[in-house]
Each structure stands twice: as structure tokens, then as C-alpha cells.
Amino acid sequence: MSHSIHPTAIVSKDAELGKDIEIGAYCIVEGDTKIGDRTQLMPFSHICEHTILGLDCKVCEHATIGGAPQDISYGGETTWVKIGDKVTCREYVTVNRAVGEGESTIIEDDCLLMEGVHVAHNVRVGKGCTIANKTGLSGHVHVGDFAVIGGMSGFHQFVHVGSYCMVGGMSRVVKDVPPYCLASGAPLFVYDINKIGLRRHGIESDSRMLIRRMYKIIYSSGNATKETLANIEHEYGNTKEAKMILAFAAESKRGLSPRIKLSTTRTYVVAEDENN
């Protein structure tokens, strides 16, 4: 086991360090932390107590991981930040511990958090997500797998974002963004399915057309209702795409974000062809 720890770094004797760790100048690693193999802590980064970092992570300059939650209900109970493997936290990222004894703020594998991103208490970010500069995720926000979030976006507490979504920069997100969707705005509207993102993840044309068809049903009355969701379950309920959409809708607490209204000055493509 070999470590590269700069002499100016402060590392608690109660920190558990994996193999081949690099800890840069003026870093602080508090006790009751676990740092996975080959993880890099760049100068001036701070790993607070009750934080677990996975394998091959990178925490850049002035990032603070595991700070106390910014919630007046927090009473000093033991809570955690748990970060998966191959996660990069760029400069000035902040990730807060959870509220509620034994609870965790979780960032899963292969995520990129760009400069200045804030992840609040009890947030869960799925695997393979990219969150761009200065985005803020309020408490209890959930982000599904492989989502992409544009810079300087703000998310209301308890909002859920589905897997494979793309949220445009500078969005104000106050309602849930369903899976597979392309959405943007302040307030946010759903524009279309995220067809480019779906292609990149190997989701074939037939599946993309099915997803589009289901959202035309959901938004036919302006937003999801029990009747439209029941129709989708009846028609397509045996498909994995429908199961994801229906499960998301069942868990929605803030309601689904509305679809953009068509105007005479701008047309949004709804054709079901091989390019969808």
C-alpha cells in the first residue's frame, strides 16, 4: 500500500485510506471517513466526517464533501455522504450530509459534478449523471441514471428527475421531470423526448417511438392523470419503457412538469420516423 500525502495536508488517524491515494497540499481529511483506492484529493479540498468516497474518484480544489446539512431541523445526528466509484467533483463543489439519523446523501458511480455544483442534504444522484456548473440541488431531490443537467439550474426540494433526461441550463425546476424527456425553462417545460441522449445510450428507434407515443397520451390533457396512466398501463404496461414511466409517475410528489404549448411562431417535431 502506497500513499502520496503532501506534508501540509491534515489527515485524521481515524480516516480509512485505500491503496494509492493522492492527497494534495493543504487538504483536510477528517475522522470517520473512508477514501477508496486510487482516489485523488487535490489541494485545499476538504473531506468532512461521515463521508465515504469510492474507487478512482477525484475531488478538485476547494471542494467540500460531507459538510453538515443546511437545514434547521438537523440536530447533530450521525448522517452520511456516500459517493460511488469514478466520481469527479470539480472546483468548489459542495455535498452536504443528510438529515435524519443514519440517512445518507448519495452520488452513484461515474458522475461528473462540474465547478460550483451544490448537492444538499438527502439528495440522491443516479449513476452516469453530468451536472454542469453552479447548479443547485435542494434537499431530497432525486436524479435518475444518465441524466444531464445544464449549468446554473435550480431545483426545488423534493423534485424528482427521471433517468435519461436532459435539463437545459438556467432552468427553474419546481415539478418532476419524467424519464427520457428534454426540458428547459424558468419555469421549466417539457419540450420533447431526449432523442439525442437516448441514441447515445443505445436506445433503439422502436423504443424511442414508443416513448414518444406514451408521452403524447400523457400530455394529451395537459398533464398526467390517473386515466391516462391507466391507458398506458393497459396498452404498453409490459414494456420496460412503460414500467419506468409509470413507476416514476406513481412516486411523483410535486406533479409532472407541463409540456410546452405549441405556438404559431415555433413548431416542435412530433413525427414518428426513423430519426426519433
Which sequence spans correspond to the domains of the chain? Answer: 4-140
CB distance 143 to 157 below 8 Å: no
Q: Residue 269 has what pLDDT? A: 41
Half-sphere exposure of 180 (CA within 13 A, CB side): 26
3-class secondary-structure state, position 260:
coil
Q: What is the CATH T-level fold of the domain 4-140, as seen in this structure?
A: UDP N-Acetylglucosamine Acyltransferase; domain 1 (2.160.10)
Q: Which three cell numbers mark 166?
A: 436532459
Q: Which of helix, strand or coil describes residue 172?
A: strand
Q: Which three three-digit cell numbers place residue 109?
A: 458511480
User: Are 18 and 36 a contacting pair, CB within 8 Å?
Assistant: yes
pLDDT tens, N- to C-terminus, the chain (276 residues)? 578 999 999 999 999 999 999 999 999 999 999 999 999 999 999 999 999 999 999 999 999 999 999 999 999 999 999 999 999 999 999 999 999 999 999 999 999 999 999 999 999 999 999 999 999 999 999 999 999 999 999 999 999 999 999 999 999 999 999 999 999 999 999 999 999 999 999 999 999 999 999 999 998 866 667 888 999 999 999 999 999 999 999 999 899 999 997 653 444 444 344 456
User: How much is the pTM?
Assistant: 0.93
For 115, the grid coordinates are: 465547478
How close are the terminal C-alpha atoms of the chain, in Å? 51
Tell me which residue has cell 506534508.
Answer: 7
How many Å apart are CA 88 and CA 233, to the nearest integer? 38
Count of residues making up the chain: 276
- CA dist 81 to 53, 98, 141, Å? 8, 7, 14
**The predicted structure's pLDDT at residue 227:** 86
pLDDT given at position 205 = 97
Please state, in angstroms and rounded to a whole number, the distance separating the CA atoms of residues 63 and 242: 39
Query: Which amino acid is located at 32 in the chain?
Result: D
The per-residue pLDDT for 249 is: 94
Q: Do β-strands 188-193 and 181-185 pair in parallel, antiparallel, or remain unpaired?
A: antiparallel
Q: Which residues pair with 65 in a beta bridge?
A: 47, 95
Cβ 210 vs Cβ 194: under 8 Å: no
Rounded to an integer, what distance in angstroms lies between the CA atom of residue 229 and that of residue 214? 9
Cα dihedral: 229, 232, 233, 238 (round 10): -150
Q: Nearest 5°: phi and psi at 236?
A: -130, 10
- Rounded to whole angstroms, the Cα distance separating 163 from 143 reads 7
Residue 91 DSSP class: T
Cβ-count burial 232-267 (b if 16+ within 10 Å, e if not)? beeebeeeebbebbbebbeebeeebbbbbeeeeeee
